[in-house]
Amino acid sequence: MKKILMGLLAITISTVAMADPATSAAENKFGIGVGVGVSDSIYKGADDRAYPMPLLDINYYDLYVKGATIGYSFYKDDAFAASLFVDPLAGFAVDGADLARGYDNIDDRKFQAMFGIRLDADTGFYGVRTGLSAQVGEHGGEGKISAFKAYKVDDKLTIVPSIHVKGYSGDYTDYYFGVTSDEARRNSKIDRAYKADAAYSIGLNLTADYRLTDNVALMAFLGVEKFSSEISDSPIVDDGVLYLVGVGAKYYF
């Protein structure tokens, strides 16, 4: 369940890329809303479920809140920006009891708070923008490079396709996807211990934002994330592909 929620939060943050604090204008903005998202799970036997999600899109001078991420922009101009941030709900958390019988006696994987830095730039190439981030927490580190472009269909509708590549340190992947010898002994369908090495994933997202009024925006999003074999080969991973879809609404003050 937690894994699904985390995937939804991740793509929720992606949906506000068009209004990222590092790429938006300097004026203050306050947007709050709620959405509903559905995701599968890459863990063995974990159910696909739908969950409500908070949609926060707040800028207050150099401070911002995007999804679950809280940050501070310490440099910003028309072409480049840099910020520091904290993500209090990072990782691929899951309760062992959510897995299928024979796998469900693993230790729970927990959320972790991760601190990081993000750089954003306008490439000058047909409106494409890029982002580069790195973050670290108790259970390892994660890096991400992304590119996206906002297509303004008309005065109300904006569509944003994006692509990203993430890298995960060995400590990070081993915590969430590794299996200890003790866990292997406790679970009848796990036949070996597994140490996960550094890994990566590639993701594609598509988001749409429709301004119903000056204050109300409707949004929809879908995404897919493909994980490398260091993750997909884990005995507790069912499939190395994660799909996400959802809709929501935000109100801007």
Give the C-alpha separation, 38 to 140, whole Å: 27
Is residue 11 scored above 50 in pLDDT?
no
Is residue 20 scored above 70 in pLDDT?
no
Model pLDDT for residues 33-54, shown as the tens digit of each residue: 888 888 888 899 887 767 777 7
Residue 101 CB neighbours (<10 A): 11
Model pLDDT for residues 183-227, shown as the tens digit of each residue: 999 999 999 999 999 999 999 999 999 999 999 999 998 999 999
27 or 144, which is more confident: 144
149: its two tokens = 């472009």
Range of the domain at 124: 2-252
One DSSP character per residue, the chain reads: -HHHHHHHHHHHHHHTGGG-TTTS-SS-EEEEEEEEEEE--SBTTPPPEEEEEEEEEEEETTEEEETTEEEEEEEE-SSEEEEEEEEEEES--B-GGGSPTTTTTSPPB--EEEEEEEEEEE-SSTT-EEEEEEEEETTEEEEEEEEE--EE-SSSEEEEEEEEEEEE-HHHHHHHH-B-HHHHHH-TT--S-B----EEEEEEEEEEEEESSSSEEEEEEEEEEEE-HHHHTSTTBS-SEEEEEEEEEEEE-
77 or 228, which is more confident: 228
Q: Which of 106, 38, 40, 119 is nearest to 73 (CA)?
A: 119
Model pLDDT for residues 152-171, shown as the tens digit of each residue: 999 999 999 999 999 999 99
Domain count, the chain: 1
pTM of the model: 0.87
Q: Report the CATH number at residue 47.
A: 2.40.160.40
Confidence of residue 27 (pLDDT cuts 50, 70, 90): low
In this structure, of 50-59, 77-86, 244-253, the range with the lowest mean pLDDT score is 50-59
Average the pLDDT over 62-82 and give the result.
Answer: 91
